[in-house]
Chain A
Amino acid sequence: MFIRLLKEAFRLTPAFLFGSTGETLTEKSGHLNLGTPGIMCMGVAGGMIGINLYDKICGGFENASPVLTFIFVVFFALLLGALSGLIFSFFTVSLRCNQNVMGLAYTTFGIGFYGLIFKTIESSHFQSIFFYNNYCSTINTLFISDQACTNNFQYLFGANGVLWFMSFTIAIAVAVVLKRTKVGLFVRAVGENAGCADAAGINVSTYRYVTTIIGSAISALGGLYYFVEMNVGLLEFGNVDAYGWLAVALVIFTLWKTDLGILGAILFAFLFKLPEIYGLPSPQLNMLFQYLPYFVTIIILVMISAFDKKAAQAPGNLGIPYFREER
């Protein structure tokens, strides 16, 4: 039973981890991108568009190759994610719009876009559910299935898709880049004090553009993971944005560190799945447990502000647009 819980929790982890890694990278450069839930929805939309296009090219899933399907979905998810980041940073960096308002508007847009693509494709393919399911299961045949596993280790870590491994790799890579490289130092400088960074000759706009675009592309993979590997193409409309808000919560929970983010994402997934697998003594407790991650995040938020420890704080210029003349 416990092994099954762990497995389910591991399975859910990347849905949070991609989102929080992308959002952390964006927030480190001083951008509070509340559009992350919307961008994750765009990732799902990208996956759907990719599968649809590939379907037209190869003509039916019987001829589909798993690798090409995978390349198509990931390419379109990354493309839509990066495009979202570009739009977001054009508004907040170049036009200096308010980041919170733009983020919320973009979330609304993303949810709508995802629903619309879902609806449009559904009406063109009669049995859309099986349509996506077929393709997504092709991708998953790249690896051993749950049933074929011989031991627990294989069951927990081996029987997962490419995106699953990608999520952990990217989280660690982002942590290393932010902590150990010159570029990472510049990104952090821009986020902490854009004025200072500008005076030191760092191009604030470029850094903010690039980090937001890369961060959004990573976040979009979170939505794609949920669609392709976790739910294998079976979708219920309106779930993705809930994961998105949890990903935003996770950024605070892990104190803006993506390596800690891995543990945080596993914990969130664990709390999320615990009532479902174990079946707590009463349905009431079940419900409360589902919302526990939000509560824990609030506690963390209060604690970091109450103890006022410098290393644990949010980036200094988080949410503040930079305009040189206003210094």
Chain B
Amino acid sequence: MSKTVLEKDKNNLESNEAKAPREKLFHIAKRMDVSLQYKIIVRVISIVTALLMCAFVLNIFKPGKFFTIFSSSFNALTGSTNKFFITLDEFAILLGISIAILPAFKMKFWNLGAEGQILIGGLAAVLVSKYIGPYVPNVLCTILMLIFAIIAGGVWALIPAFFKAKFNTNETLFTLMMNYLAMGFIAFFEQVIDPAHGTIAQLTNGTFPDATDNVKTIIAFVIVVLMTLFMFGYLNKTKHGYELTVVGETRNTAKYIGINVKAVIMRTVVLCGILCGIIGYFTVLKQKSISPNIIGGKGFTAVMIAWLGHMNVVEVIVMAFLVAFITRGSSVAATNVDLGSAFTNITIAIFLITILAFEFFLNYEVHFNKKIFKSKKEVKEVEE
């Protein structure tokens, strides 16, 4: 008798399920309070998974080379003095750009134009060195280069910021286009300075031609460290930092508590431009020239670093280091196994996309529908 009842129950259950098609297997809810411990665990898992994914991708293209990427990364870091300095340079530039765009992102201003701001700053420095350099002493020339780079970067950043503040123009697309305008200006001046070759020859004035590249890398690194410390203080300890955070959270609240929103937008983005100008200056100092592709899309990588670092200085440092580490590693590995420079792009993208995917677990939680699972389980238990 019991068996028939059970069968009946089972049938009932099944028919109930069929009748209620809207019952979902799981639903997603916003995670409200996330403990620091949970955050760190998710982060560590995401980074480890991302590194493994990079190794896995290399393994697809060159079977049996799973660990090559790690060994190359460590080799790039500790192999020789020169290799170390190249890695340090990569790290310094990535960290510098990420730190420079940090305040804008904290204000939810999508500044994709870091590359353009750096290029324009660098171009200003080049022009000063070219046209003012011969008439002034070297030290004065380099100071002038720095000053003009800062001004140029700031002005370049002010243009989209002004229109954002005035008309609420979409800054994502605006700053994106400004990158290419900056490249256009450089291409233009390349033709103006040397119409025969269309490139800018090595500069001598104000670029310290006697100093080695390694020394310049150290200088750049020190400047970036100072910038990072400044930014930490600026965002966390000053009134400016507080104001831009409020503007980023809700613009109306900012307005009602008496913050001049337009002024804050322009001020913050100009700060980004100034810092980018400084980066442009030491890029020129090192390369002694400039070309449209000198930054090579690092502005975009920095955007991803700043976003995945949650606009938090400490996390950004870690992310920038990891990206520099994996970039150098994959570029060394690619030369070793003959895959070409394009492979670096793939590893960076895979690395960042994997971490991006894990963001989901920080922001949301998945609730499985206990009713469905339980009823299935009960049926199973009864059957047994």
Residues of chain A having any CB pair with chain B under 8 Å? 32, 34, 91, 95-98, 100-102, 104-109, 111-116, 118-120, 123, 237, 245, 248-249, 252, 282-284, 286-288, 290-291, 294-295, 297-298, 301-302, 305-306, 308, 314, 319, 323, 325-326
CB of B180 closer than 8 Å to a CB of A: yes
* A100 contacts B346, C-beta separation under 8 Å: no
Given A288-B188, A298-B181, A108 contacting B303 (CB threshold 8 A): no
Given contacts A108-B297, A118-B342, A245-B180, 4 further A-B contacts (CB under 8 A): A108-B352, A109-B345, A119-B342, A282-B195
CB of B202 closer than 8 Å to a CB of A: no
* B176 contacts A91, C-beta separation under 8 Å: no
* A112 contacts B167, C-beta separation under 8 Å: no
Given A114-B342, A116-B342, A96 contacting B363 (CB threshold 8 A): yes
* B184 contacts A301, C-beta separation under 8 Å: no
B109 CB → nearest A CB, Å: 12
Cα distance A314–B187 in the bound complex, in angstroms = 32
**A289: nearest chain-B partner, CB-CB:** B184
* B188 contacts A287, C-beta separation under 8 Å: yes
CB of B198 closer than 8 Å to a CB of A: yes
Given A100-B112, A298-B181, A252 contacting B173 (CB threshold 8 A): yes
* A109 contacts B168, C-beta separation under 8 Å: no
Q: Which 6 A-B pairs rank lowest in CB-CB distance, beginning with the nearest? A: A115-B342, A112-B345, A291-B184, A109-B349, A112-B346, A119-B340
Instruction: Provide the B119-133 mask, 1 if CB < 8 A to any CB of A, else 0.
Output: 000000000000000
A16 CB → nearest B CB, Å: 14
Q: Is the interface of A mostly helix, strand, loop or mixed?
A: helix
* A287 contacts B303, C-beta separation under 8 Å: no
Cα distance A298–B113 in the bound complex, in angstroms = 13
* B301 contacts A108, C-beta separation under 8 Å: yes
* A301 contacts B173, C-beta separation under 8 Å: yes
Question: B348 — which chain A residues lie within 8 A by C-beta?
Answer: 108, 112
CB of B136 closer than 8 Å to a CB of A: no
Considering the complex, which residues of chain B in the window 27-57 have a beta carbon less than 8 Å from any beta carbon of chain A? 28-30
**A241: nearest chain-B partner, CB-CB:** B297
* A95 contacts B308, C-beta separation under 8 Å: no
CB pairs A–B below 8 angstroms (8 shown): A100-B112, A101-B308, A104-B300, A252-B173, A287-B184, A290-B184, A290-B187, A294-B180
CB of B290 closer than 8 Å to a CB of A: no
Interface-located stretch among B92-100, B270-278, B353-361, B371-379? B353-361
Given A104-B303, A108-B300, A325-B29, A301 contacting B177 (CB threshold 8 A): yes
Cα distance A54–B308 in the bound complex, in angstroms = 42
Cα distance A95–B168 in the bound complex, in angstroms = 29
Please tell me which one of the listed residues A283, A305, A325 contacts residue B191 in the complex, with CB atoms under 8 A apart. A283
Question: A116 — which chain B residues lie within 8 A by C-beta?
Answer: 61, 339-340, 342-343, 346
Cα distance A62–B343 in the bound complex, in angstroms = 33
Question: A237 — which chain B residues lie within 8 A by C-beta?
Answer: 342
* A283 contacts B342, C-beta separation under 8 Å: no
Question: A308 — which chain B residues lie within 8 A by C-beta?
Answer: 167
Please tell me which one of the listed residues A106, A288, A297, A319 contacts residue B353 in the complex, with CB atoms under 8 A apart. A106
Cα distance A230–B187 in the bound complex, in angstroms = 25
Q: Interface centre among A105, A119, A291, by most B CB within 10 Å?
A: A105
Cα distance A249–B178 in the bound complex, in angstroms = 11
* B349 contacts A105, C-beta separation under 8 Å: yes
Considering the complex, which residues of chain B in the window 258-275 have a beta carbon less than 8 Å from any beta carbon of chain A? none
Cα distance A97–B301 in the bound complex, in angstroms = 16
Instruction: Provide the B290-329 mask, 1 if CB < 8 A to any CB of A, else 0.
Output: 0000000100110110011000000000000000000000
* B184 contacts A288, C-beta separation under 8 Å: yes
* A95 contacts B346, C-beta separation under 8 Å: no
Question: B297 — which chain A residues lie within 8 A by C-beta?
Answer: 108
Given A100-B110, A116-B61, A119-B339, A291 contacting B346 (CB threshold 8 A): no
Question: A34 — which chain B residues lie within 8 A by C-beta?
Answer: 176
Q: Interface centre among B190, B301, B345, B364, by most A CB within 10 Å?
A: B345
B376 CB → nearest A CB, Å: 24
Considering the complex, which residues of chain B in the window 147-176 have a beta carbon less than 8 Å from any beta carbon of chain A? 163, 166-170, 172-174, 176
* B353 contacts A105, C-beta separation under 8 Å: yes
Question: A298 — which chain B residues lie within 8 A by C-beta?
Answer: 174, 177-178, 181
Cα distance A326–B184 in the bound complex, in angstroms = 43
Question: A102 — which chain B residues lie within 8 A by C-beta?
Answer: 353, 356
* B172 contacts A101, C-beta separation under 8 Å: no
* B360 contacts A111, C-beta separation under 8 Å: no
Cα distance A249–B184 in the bound complex, in angstroms = 15
Cα distance A243–B29 in the bound complex, in angstroms = 40
**B169: nearest chain-A partner, CB-CB:** A305
B104 CB → nearest A CB, Å: 13
**A298: nearest chain-B partner, CB-CB:** B177
Cα distance A249–B173 in the bound complex, in angstroms = 8
**A116: nearest chain-B partner, CB-CB:** B342
Question: B167 — which chain A residues lie within 8 A by C-beta?
Answer: 302, 305-306, 308
* A295 contacts B181, C-beta separation under 8 Å: yes
* A109 contacts B340, C-beta separation under 8 Å: no
Instruction: Provide the B11-34 mask, 1 if CB < 8 A to any CB of A, else 0.
Output: 000000000000000001110000
Question: A305 — which chain B residues lie within 8 A by C-beta?
Answer: 163, 167-170
A306 CB → nearest B CB, Å: 5
Cα distance A91–B358 in the bound complex, in angstroms = 10
* A301 contacts B170, C-beta separation under 8 Å: yes
* A302 contacts B163, C-beta separation under 8 Å: yes
* A249 contacts B177, C-beta separation under 8 Å: yes
A292 CB → nearest B CB, Å: 8
Cα distance A163–B30 in the bound complex, in angstroms = 45
